[in-house]
Chains A and B, each alone.
Chain A
Amino acid sequence: MTKRKFGLALSVVLAAGTLLGACGSKDDSSKGDKESKEKNFSIAMVTDLGGIDDKSFNQSAWEGIQKFGKDNALEKGNGGYEYLASKSSSDYNVNLNSLVRRDFNLIFGVGYLMEDSIKEVASQKPKTNFSIIDGKVDAPNVASILFKEQEGAFLAGVAAASVTKSNKIGFVGGIDIPVINRFHAGFVEGVKAVNPDIKVDAVYTGAFDKAELGKTTANRMYTSGVDVIFHAAGATGNGVFTEAKERKTKDANANVWVIGVDADQYKEGQVNDKTNVTLTSVMKRVDIAVQDVAKKAKEDKFPGGEILTYGLSDNGMALADSHGAITDDVMKKIDDYAKQIADGKIKVPEKVEK
């Protein structure tokens, strides 16, 4: 696990290195900055504690930013696009301020944990536009981006309930907060829609950064007969994948599935060339939302003070390609539900009924 993570970190480092080497950007004089500022609309983001390679919404947001940069011929660095990673919660303000001081036009804060920091820095730096993902900040220069996680999770619930053989399904959550509650609620609702008798075994691990916790939780669930686990737990969820893959390696016939979250986690579930434990992923298209807001801002239509909610109807939520793990029949059923939700015929609750 650690080894793999280290390898990943190393490859990211190397990738960043080549990128940097290619553009060779440097702190130019302030004059140069101004010039580029006039030419370009620059955007940047600050990650939460998960890091830029969390295979989840930090990474997804960064992909959106990179895409936007490419589409608008921007380069990484000042006057282009950039990210700063936070290692502790006291880094948020510092990183936001750093980016403001580097004259980025629009700065994203990824994750509800950054609400307070965005609020504070936004009030101190009214000339810069900010956007908070997964959180709400009421300020004229902040656009809040929220998602209807429950809608995507509903579809995952349908998929899970259709695939399970043991009729036991698990949910591994991170910290017990509204965002994760929405995933939880939608998932339970989706399962219920297919088979009301299935009980979802739900556990909140209390952390987004503890893969080992995810692994032990998954171990317990699979041992108790659960065959599909949906995780909404950031890096903690990586442990769920590890556990499932270990089981699949030991026994190729083991019926274990994981449903990923935020981004398409197909790669996470890769056991070997032929086997993969990822059933599908509930994609929170942070990248689409980021590009959307960035585009609006560039066109001088920055939705400051607004709360933007992305769901199935505007492709803000989606189910990832199952690579054949879900049969066409089931797929059809899912598409049907998706349509009903997008059309507003089905309203998915945001909280689990107790």
Chain B
Amino acid sequence: MPKKLTTILVPVISVILGLLVGAIVMLVSGYDPVEGYLALWEGIFGDVYTLGGTVRQITPYVLAGLAVAFAFRTGLFNIGVEGQLIMGWLAAAYVGYAFDLPAIIHLPLAILAAAVAGALWAFIPGLLKAKLQVHEVIVTIMMNYIALHVSNAIIKSLTDGGEKTPAIHESASLRSAFLDNLTEYSRMHYGFVIALIMVVIMWFILERTKRGFELKAVGFNQNASEYAGMNVNKNIILAMVISGAFAGLAGAMEALGTFGNVSVIGGFTGIGFDGIAVALLGANAPLGVLLGATLFGSLKFGALNMPNVGIPVEIVSIIIALVIFFVASGYIIRVFLERMSKKKEAK
């Protein structure tokens, strides 16, 4: 079987299989799968409102996915995207409401603040990994909890015990009246432009720059990189920092786009963890991450419409998880296809 055909067939078959099993789940639980999937479809592509919502949902997934993928490509497991995202969210929201500046300065400043906050939060595990060989998985996981509670504490101290910051100024907002009118207040915002730019930037860093060459080399083989005169420690730290900056930007999407502030939260947003799945779905390539995030975000957002036809959220969660499960296990299908074509060849 030609390789190209396989690469297209595998995800398509995966999605279909996932939907089929999901349909069985709905049937067994006494719901109409056709109605359910129609609602899912409507919830994604139904009209401008749902389309806008879908794009909004995809946006932070793209950035979180890029953060995880960038680290993966440089040989690091950044499980701390969640924490870096929270810090980015906080930083962007703070800059958004605490300063009064013209939009042309304010918005970029708030976005930059988020990237820097995420980067700083990732710098710590990077430093520990480089200098003391502490495994970044452990540190980043713990940094998630620290971020969650530090953020909550900062919000409280900023607002005298309140549970959320004031709303950001208009000048720092990614929202626009134009998009609100166009998509009937779907909360879609200009963050998707940033996400798309970052897809290109990640590709550029990795595939075109000297630094990207080094980062990848260090990720694959530290010994050979050192032999070739690269500064291994510096590259490890830098890889984490860049990854964290992407994560911070995902936080900026929430602060400056979707929510317009930051609240005390009891648990993780989950976006950072979903970013791991997105990165894996996209095979850690920038364009792949964009596609992975699109699938993930669309399903998640479209699923919100399924309770509108009476399917409980629990069942919906199972169905969405099934689809993603099947896509992620595309490997199995690939092997199966190869077996099939081999048998044919043999005959």
Judged by CB atoms under 8 Å, the answer to whether A and B touch is: yes
CA distance A124 to B183 in the complex (A): 12
Q: Mark B300-343, 1 if CB is under 8 A from A, else 0.
A: 01001101111011110100000000000000000000000000
Q: What is the distance, in angstroms, from A48's C-beta to the closest C-beta of chain B? A: 11
Q: Mark B167-197, 1 if CB is under 8 A from A, else 0.
A: 1000000000000100001110000000000
Q: Which residues of B contact A9 (CB under 8 A)?
A: 314
User: Which chain B residues in 249-278 approach chain A with CB under 8 Å?
Assistant: 254, 258-261, 263-267, 269-270
CA distance A266 to B162 in the complex (A): 32
CA distance A51 to B313 in the complex (A): 9
Check B282 for interface membership: any CB of A closer than 8 A.
no
Question: Are A207 and B310 neighbours in the complex by a CB distance under 8 Å?
Answer: no
Question: Are B163 and A90 neighbours in the complex by a CB distance under 8 Å?
Answer: no
- Known contacts A176-B161, A210-B266; decide if A91 and B312 are in contact (CB<8 Å): no
CA distance A16 to B30 in the complex (A): 10
Q: Which residues of A contact B49 (CB under 8 A)?
A: 97, 101
Q: Which residues of A contact B270 (CB under 8 A)?
A: 88
- Known contacts A94-B301, A102-B308; decide if A174 and B266 are in contact (CB<8 Å): yes
Please choose the segment from A19-27, A152-160, A295-303 that sits at the chain B interface, where 4 or more of its residues have CB less than 8 A away: A19-27
Q: What is the distance, in angstroms, from A114's C-beta to the closest C-beta of chain B? A: 11
- From B161, B258, B310, B314, contact of A20 by CB (8 A): B310
Q: Which residues of B contact A177 (CB under 8 A)?
A: 163, 264
Q: What is the distance, in angstroms, from A124's C-beta to the closest C-beta of chain B? A: 4
Q: What is the distance, in angstroms, from A115's C-beta to the closest C-beta of chain B? A: 8
Task: Select the residue from B156, B167, B310 with max chain A CB neighbours within 10 A.
Answer: B310
Check B211 for interface membership: any CB of A closer than 8 A.
no
- From B29, B161, B185, B267, contact of A121 by CB (8 A): B185
Please count how many residues in chain B sit with their CB below 8 Å of the partner chain's CB atoms: 42
Closest A residue to B42 using CB positions: A27
User: Which chain A residues in 89-129 approach chain B with CB under 8 Å?
Assistant: 89-91, 93-95, 97-98, 101-102, 112-113, 116, 120-121, 124-125
Check B78 for interface membership: any CB of A closer than 8 A.
no
Q: Mark A181-197, 1 if CB is under 8 A from B, else 0.
A: 00000000000000000
Task: Select the residue from A91, A112, A174 with max chain B CB neighbours within 10 A.
Answer: A91
Question: Are B156 and A17 neighbours in the complex by a CB distance under 8 Å?
Answer: no
- Known contacts A27-B309, A116-B164; decide if A206 and B149 are in contact (CB<8 Å): yes
A-B contact pairs, 25 of them (CB 8 A): A12-B312, A16-B310, A17-B30, A21-B30, A85-B313, A89-B259, A89-B263, A89-B265, A90-B57, A90-B254, A90-B258, A93-B187, A94-B53, A98-B308, A101-B49, A112-B163, A113-B263, A116-B167, A116-B260, A121-B185, A124-B180, A124-B185, A176-B161, A177-B264, A206-B149
Inter-chain pairs besides A84-B308, A89-B263, 19 sampled, C-beta below 8 Å: A12-B312, A26-B35, A77-B310, A85-B307, A89-B259, A90-B57, A90-B254, A91-B304, A94-B304, A101-B49, A102-B308, A113-B263, A116-B167, A121-B185, A175-B264, A176-B156, A177-B163, A207-B267, A210-B266
Which residues of B approach A to under 8 Å, CB–CB?
Answer: 29-31, 35, 49, 53, 57, 149, 152, 156, 161, 163-164, 167, 180, 185-187, 254, 258-261, 263-267, 269-270, 301, 304-305, 307-310, 312-315, 317
